Every structure is written in structure tokens, then in C-alpha cells.
Chains A and B, each alone.
Chain A
Amino acid sequence: MLEARFTKKLWHFTLDIRINLGTEILVLWGPSGAGKTTILHCLAGLSSPGGGLIKLGDTVLYSSEERINVNTRFRNVGYLFQDYALFPHLTVRQNVLYGVKCKRKKDHDLPGKNPLELLEPFGVSHLIDRYPTQLSGGEKQRVALARALAVQPQLLLLDEPFSALDRNIKENLRQEIKKLHRKWKIPFVLVTHDEEDAGFLGDKIISLEKGRSSDTPLQTISEAASGLTQSMP
């Protein structure tokens, strides 16, 4: 599904990443400043790599050789930010429908399914007429998820989706994201610095250290994570 290998020069180092992903969840794990968010930006087309190739399904999104760089708005990539980034001047309903309206206008084949149904499994469908300031952190993040999925993306990028949340909400949301992934069957790329998140969600894990990536065996991290869980009272 997702095939990406590219380089990107950052302040202190050059990022060099290789991703080969089916419909699994890939976790990019590492300390802050390791270039995790930059990778997501490159996949979404919000910034350009220095060179390489990004392919989603059969579509080439970026290729330095063929001089292709598909604009963000045609990439069909959902993006979820750490602090939700809901439009504060719009209600939950308007937020979720924001992208759909735009897509419908351009692409009439889009399935006519009601995107607001996406809110139901998250248990936030009763909040539909509220504004983002009236929501809790967990509710905001669920609305943001629904908004990202409403445009039927073929790839979902999640940038530290739990780091602004309380512990128990975070655990619930982690479960929901796993369920969601089974239902949608599209590749997810999730950035986190939290070992537990990585161990719980990652089908594949790439750990990053100053741009150098290594395929950490899943075992070590999930062991570390389970160790952590056990030590929790």
C-alpha cells in the first residue's frame, strides 16, 4: 500500500527513511527532534523531501526522478494533530463535514454515506452542535479523527495523538484506534515517543535516532512496554 523512501535535510542531520507498509499500523518511535513529524509532513505533502519516492497504492505521490510532487489536497491522506486542531469557529458537525463538502464539489463519485455516522462509534454524536471549546480533550480528538476519516482517506497519519490526553482516556482511545484500523483496512502511520503506545498499536515499529532509522524488533519494545504496564500499580 504505502511505499516510501526519501531523504530530507534538517537542521542538524539528514533524515533517511524507508517505509514499506501494507494495511498495518506503523509506529514511528523516537525522542523529540528525531524528525518524526517531518516524515508525516513529507507523506502528507506539507513539506517536500530532498529526494526519493513516495507511493500510495498505485499512485506516485512524490518522485524526485520523475519530478512528481502531488499537491496535499489531491493526496487523500488524513492527518491528525497532537492538539486536535479543530476549527474553533465551527461546530462539531461543521468540522466533520468541512472536508466532505469540498470533496463532494469536486468529485461526485464520493459515496453518499453520512459522514456524521462516524461520530457514533466514538460516542460523541450527541455533541454535534457544540463548539470545540466546549469539548474535553478526548472528545476533541475523537471529533478530529472523524473529520480526518470523513473524506475517505487511503492513509491516516497520526501525530502524537494521545500526548495531550489523560491516562485513562488515552487508553480508551488507543483501543478505539486499533478497532478503527481493523474496520478501515488502510495503512496508519503513528508518531509517538511513548513506548507503551508503540508496543500496543505498532504492527511495525521504526525507531528513529537523529534521522537514522532502525527496524527495532517488535519484541523488544513490546517487552519494554509490557514491563512498564506491569510495573504500574
Chain B
Amino acid sequence: MQNTALKQDHKAVFFNAMKMSLKGPGPFQAAFWLVLILMTAFMLTLVGGLFLYGEWSAFLKVLQQPEFHYAMTFTLWTTLLSTMLAGMVAVPCGFILSRHNFPGKILVDTLIDIPIVLPPLVSGVALLILFGPVLGDALTRLGLDIVFSIRGVIVAQWFIATPFAVRTFKQAFDSIDPRLEKIARTLGYTPSEVFFKVTVPMAKKGLLGGLTMAWARTLGEFGATAMLAGIIRMKTETLAVAVFLNMSIGDMNFAMATSIIMLFLAMFLLAVFKTISRLEARA
């Protein structure tokens, strides 16, 4: 008796589900789907437009120009260097912010976050004032000029990327059970061994993801670089600066080609990031 009732119940549930799927989503869900589809179409058109507008032959010609070569190599090595520097600062900052409580922590946390909310142009102005009027003379005497120099590019990129790295690293460290670190200590590990043999391997994916995102930030960095290092052809000319520079003098082909290359770089980094976070989800 009971069994058949149960069976009927199952049948009812099954048919209800069938009806639902035949009817399709209700108007509320349909509206949400519509927005998602429109947004996807918009993004596709946007990216497609960039490709379709330029000419293939002009694109190849730009790739052979020395200015493009300079901007490409200059961007790669400066962004890699500034990302590494950002990572080196972010590891201790992120770890302390994740594991310890101290008076004024909220204040420190907020201070480090400032470049995230500050418009990059304003960051650039602040950096310009710090390394110009405030510290400029001392730096010149040491031969370490920052303003309007290649060093300025690296400083600007580092400044924009570091808070991102600190934030993501802190999250990576937060996600590790501190008990695992305690266990390692009872097993005889020193604090540095615990950090490098337990904390870092376990946070590895989060750290790599954070570095990728920080790198993406430095690749696109324009505002702070323009303010601190200036827009100087073949000197402080990153890819982003090259787009602006050539757009402003009317060399559309150059600007378009560089934009497309930057789009590829960004998509590549996004793919790397997604792969890393998918690995994390599976582990």
C-alpha cells in the first residue's frame, strides 16, 4: 500500500518536472535570459568590430614597425618586473593581514586599498608629487630619477598592481585552515618552514591567480604611467601609451593593431586565470 503511494508520488513529481521543462522558463526568468543574451551579443559585436574595422595588411605592417617592437618588449619586461615586485610586497602584507589582528588594522587595510578606488590619474599625480618635489632632489643625487623615466613606468605599474595582489593573496591565505599550520608546528617545523612548506603550497593556486590578475592590471595601466613617467615615444612607451599616442596623432592603423594585440594578451591572461581557478575548484 505504502509502496504504491510512494510510487505515485514519484510519478507526480516526475510529471511536474516534465511540465515545467515543456513550458519553459516563466516571464521573470525569460527577462533575465534576454538581458544575458543581449549582453553577450554586445560583447561579441564589440570584439568583432575591433577586428573587422582594421585592415589585415595594415595590421601586419604595424607589427613590423620598430615602434611596435619597442612598445611590445618594453611592456612585457616592465609589467613582468612590476608584477613580481608587487607579489614580493603582497606576500608578507597579505599574510599578516590574514593571520593577525592588531590595533589599527582597519586603517592599514584601508590605506593599502586606496589605489584600487583612486582614479589612476590621481594616483599618478600623487606619485608625481612624491617623486618630484618631495623626494626628487635626493633621488637625482643618487642617480635614481623616477619622474619621466623608465623607472617611473615600473613604479606606476607596481603601485596600481600591489593592492590587487595584497587583496587576492590575503584571500588565498584566508582560505587555508590555520589548524594545518598548527599541526605542522607540532610536527617540528619552524615558522618559515611552515610558511614555505604548508602555507604557500596550499595557497599556490590563489597566489598564482592573484599574480595573473595583478599582471593584467599592469598591462592596461595608463593613467598613472602617463602622469609619472610621461608619454614619451620609444622611451616610456608601453602598449597602452602607444595606443593613446598614435590615436592622438591620427595613426589609426597603429592604434588599432596595438589594441588588438592588447585584447589578445588580456584574453590570454583571462584564460590562464580561469584555468587556475578551475583547478582550484576541483582540488
Which chain B residues in 147-189 approach chain A with CB under 8 Å?
177, 179-180, 182-189
Whether, in the assembled complex, A44 has its beta carbon less than 8 Å from a beta carbon of chain B, the answer is yes
Known: A85-B177, A89-B283. A106 touches B188 (CB 8 A): yes
For residue A140, give the distance in angstroms from its CB to the closest CB of chain B.
Answer: 13
Task: A83-B179, A99-B189 given; name 7 further pairs at CB < 8 Å.
Answer: A46-B182, A81-B183, A85-B177, A87-B198, A102-B188, A102-B189, A103-B187
Residues of A within 8 A of B (CB): 44-46, 72-75, 77-79, 81, 83, 85, 87-89, 98-99, 102-103, 106, 147-148, 151
Residues of chain B lying within 8 A (CB to CB) of residue A45: 185
Contact residues in A for B183 (Cβ distance below 8 Å): 79, 81, 85, 87, 147
Q: A85-B183, A87-B180 are in contact. Are A103 and B202 (CB under 8 A)?
A: no
Asked if A77 meets B186 with Cβ closer than 8 Å, knowing A85-B179, A88-B202, A89-B201, the reply is: yes
For B55, the chain A residues whose CB sits under 8 A away are none
CB distance from A72 to the nearest CB of B (A): 4
Partner of A85, one of B180, B188, B201: B180
Residues of B within 8 A of A (CB): 177, 179-180, 182-190, 193, 198, 201-202, 283
Which has the most chain B C-beta neighbours within 10 Å: A46, A72, A81, A83? A72
Q: List 12 A-B contacts (CB under 8 A).
A: A72-B182, A73-B186, A73-B190, A74-B188, A79-B186, A99-B186, A102-B187, A102-B188, A147-B183, A148-B187, A151-B187, A151-B188
Contact between chains at A79 and B188 (CB < 8 Å): no
Tally of A-B residue pairs with Cβ under 8 A?
Answer: 59
Complex Cα distance, B55 from A154, in Å, reads 76
Assess the A72–B185 pair: CB atoms within 8 A: yes
Residues in A with CB closer than 8 Å to B177 are 85
Whether the Cβ atoms of B188 and A99 lie closer than 8 Å is yes
Collect the chain A residues with CB atoms within 8 Å of residue B283's CB: 88-89
Inter-chain contact B188/A103, CB cutoff 8 Å: yes
Q: Which residues of B have CB within 8 Å of A102?
A: 187-189, 193
- On chain A, the residues within 8 Å of B180 by CB distance are 85, 87
Which of B179, B188, B198 contacts A73 (CB under 8 A)? B188
Which of chain B's residues have a CB closer than 8 A to the CB of A148?
186-187
Q: How far is the CB of B167 from chain A (nearest CB, A)?
A: 23
How many whole Å from A105's CB to the nearest CB in chain B? 9
Query: Which chain A residue lies CB-closest to B182?
Result: A46
